[in-house]
Amino acid sequence: MTIINCDNNNKKNDDDKNIILDKSVNFFQSILEKILIPRSVNSAGHETVRQYIKNTLRDLNSRWHIEEDVFRTRTPAGQVKFQNIIATYVPEFGCIRSKSSLKRTILACHYDSLKSSLVKGHNNTDINQVERFTGATDAAVSCSMMIYLAYTMNDHLEKHWLHHFNSNRTIQLNTLQLIFFDGEEIIRSEQNALRRNKRRYKSKSPQSDSLFGSKHLANKWEKITNKIHEQRKRFATLANMTNMKRSSRYLLCDGQDSISAKQRLIDIQNENQNKKKNGKITEVLIISPQDYHTIDGIQLFILFDLIGGSGSPRFYNTNLNTSQHFQQLIQIEKSYLQFNNEKKTAKSMSGGSNKVFFQQNPAFMVSFVRDDHLPFVIRNVPALHLIPHPFPRTWHSMDDNVDNLNFNSIGRFTNIMQLFLLNFFRPI
Ligand SMILES: [Zn+2]
């Protein structure tokens, strides 16, 4: 397998704007090679990729908490087991007013691939055929990019939290969470798939035949959120009745090292005493992974799909409540292109890659694309659905493979996303 270099510019840049894909291009390619295998739900490749994603994220930094959301549900192919992967950057320390002020930004995509028997133009009637569809844009590139972004954001996230911790201010804090959804693609029994012969499968009820992972997780997190709200209401009533005073500020701890958190609390209180400050931090608040399982704690949900196809992709925003974030992507791309135009040689920018990706919306832009963001959007989560319009020409065909990826465009898209996240998690 040959993967083209992601970087179309001079590699010897010393400027911050070219931080990404310069030093670490091999890392990105090595991730993609591991994920670019057939990985339809519950296949051997699916298991391999899931383990690979979990292990790679675990190895990035000990602060990434990796978990699986495993469930079984009814599908047209009977009961099927699905496994979403969730990775959360859990800061060691921070100062927050309450658990409810703990927010997170989610990057998401799906890691399952479409069954080869459901791919466009497929005419093999042998149900024991070897799976061949690798779903390069759908969504191996997105998975690789998310792992890559987690890798590049490690140090920055640490500084982000440390800064807040040392500044002794209580503000709304935000961390990064990655979700790799399972079961985004349609599931269908092999018999039904064969019956359709050469026609591409179109589900009669796609609402019950895809998006299994995102539907399950959004529903689960909504229930957890409702339960927490109930508990808070009860606590508030109790506090009123007994005139209990709640601490105004907490030291946040991930629970892995509560002894050092308690020691840190004593240090802070001593420091404050010495400086004659009002020691506001009064308690250590242990954070568990469940505290990152709420719907209302999601500050922004960014879904990637069909990234990396040939040609110049165009992205539009169809969710009004995230237009400020999309405008920011437009601005970042603008300065990124300006910067590269100054640096580039005429030769290095070929293939129309200078066209703008992030577009101002046409007046009547409405998206009817069913994707993993929908179960969250209907629960009022602010979402950016980053999928190109139109879809890549290779969509759901055997041509959606490494040979038809556009690595210049992948490089630029990843750069823009990293700059966006750096800005999002900048110390305030
Ligand atoms: Zn697909």
Residues 380-423 pLDDT 10s: 999 999 999 999 999 999 999 999 999 999 999 999 999 999 98
- Cβ atoms within 10 Å of 269's Cβ, excluding its own: 16
pLDDT in tens, 214-237: 999 999 999 999 998 888 777 666
Cα gap 307→137, rounded to integer Å: 5
How much distance in Å is there from the Cα of 423 to the middle of ligand 1?
31
Per the model's pLDDT, the better-predicted residue between 103 and 271 turns out to be 103
DSSP 184-213: -S----HHHHHHTTTSPP--S-GGGSS-HH
How much distance in Å is there from the Cα of 118 to the middle of ligand 1?
10
How much distance in Å is there from the Cα of 305 to the middle of ligand 1?
8
How much distance in Å is there from the Cα of 185 to the middle of ligand 1?
5
Structure-token pair, residue 295: 């719907």
- 282-310: b or e for each residue (b if 16 or more CB lie within 10 Å)? eebbbbeeebbbbbbbbbbbbbbbbbbbb
Structure-token pair, residue 170: 């209580």
The full length of the chain comes to: 428
Locate all alpha helices (DSSP H) within 243-322, ordered by sequence.
258-274
How much distance in Å is there from the Cα of 363 to the middle of ligand 1?
28
Predicted confidence (pLDDT) at residue 19 exceeds the cutoff of 60: no
Structure-token pair, residue 404: 């038809």
| Most confident among 134-148, 174-188, 275-289 (mean pLDDT) | 134-148
| Across 55-60, average pLDDT | 94
Cα gap 363→223, rounded to integer Å: 37
> Which is nearest to 388 in space by CA: 310, 282, 336?
310
pLDDT in tens, 153-192: 988 888 777 666 555 555 566 889 999 999 999 987 655 5
Domains of the chain: 16-424 (3.40.630.10)
Give me the sheet containing 249-253, strands edge to edge.
Answer: 93-96, 249-253, 281-286
How much distance in Å is there from the Cα of 137 to the middle of ligand 1?
9
pTM for this structure? 0.83
| Across 13-31, average pLDDT | 63
| Across 130-136, average pLDDT | 90
Q: What angle do CA 267, 268, 273 make, to 5 degrees?
A: 100
How much distance in Å is there from the Cα of 70 to the middle of ligand 1?
21
100: helix, coil or strand? Answer: helix
The dihedral over CA atoms of 191, 197, 198, 200, expressed in degrees to the nearest 10, equals -50
Residue 73's Cβ-count burial label (10 Å; 0-12, 13-18, 19+) is middle
Cα gap 226→424, rounded to integer Å: 28
> Which is nearest to 229 in space by CA: 297, 177, 161?
297
Cα gap 10→334, rounded to integer Å: 19
How much distance in Å is there from the Cα of 394 to the middle of ligand 1?
11
Structure-token pair, residue 318: 């169809």
How much distance in Å is there from the Cα of 136 to the middle of ligand 1?
10
Paired residues of 82 in beta bridges: 71
> Which is nearest to 294 in space by CA: 238, 236, 232?
232
Predicted confidence (pLDDT) at residue 198 exceeds the cutoff of 50: no
Structure-token pair, residue 371: 């994707």
| pLDDT band (50, 70, 90) for residue 428 | low
